[in-house]
Structure 1
């Protein structure tokens, strides 16, 4: 039996600043820590992770188009694009795989503009407010979905 297709881990704008930007909101873990956690969690189930963080929306859209037929599922923290990007939701349907949306902070306890997600209607699950551990939970849930 061949190994499963990898999980695509996507992180949107400013997440490259994890550990530096607003540690009172996002904690002290870095993006490297997040990728390591997701990779280790996926490896428990025999999955690899392909990771992309970008501050450029077009780069994320291109990555999603290129992922069609090459991934098992998507774990995404769209960051600010959660609340703004119709282009992102249009691109997220292209790979035709399960999606789990993750947010480090509890977006529903923050400013009102953060309460709406364009991504959530496409997601098989949404995890928010668990800090970077949310990425672990998202990977575990995604593996369950794609292994059924």
Structure 2
């Protein structure tokens, strides 16, 4: 009776549990890496969504008020969005598309957004600023930001 613990007749071939586990198909390293990349991509997309929504909200405030404080806050939100995009680009270290001069397209778009943001800033603070021109600049900047998003 003392040996009954060691002599279980379960119909198994005498393999231990550990050896049975090793014969199961495992998820490959590439599959796991791919899964991690997808999760990370989703998190980045969610963060971009939140930042873009914050820019949109501040843009709506600026359109309604045309106040200096709202202009400064809008500019800050756009810069925050751009900073995040640049961090992701440098972290990922990959390029998806290049322009005709061989520059990374994303950096070119970021430069355009910065340029339009400065134009918006100058127009906003110019004495003869036209609210329609400001609204046009807001729309142009948002369009460029969406180009980065895509």
Larger RCO, structures 1/2 (Cα 8 Å, 6+ apart): 1
Higher relative helix content: 2
Normalized against structure 2, the TM-score is what? Answer: 0.25
The structure with more strand, counted as a fraction of residues: 1
Q: Between Structure 1 and Structure 2, whose CA radius of gyration is higher?
A: 2
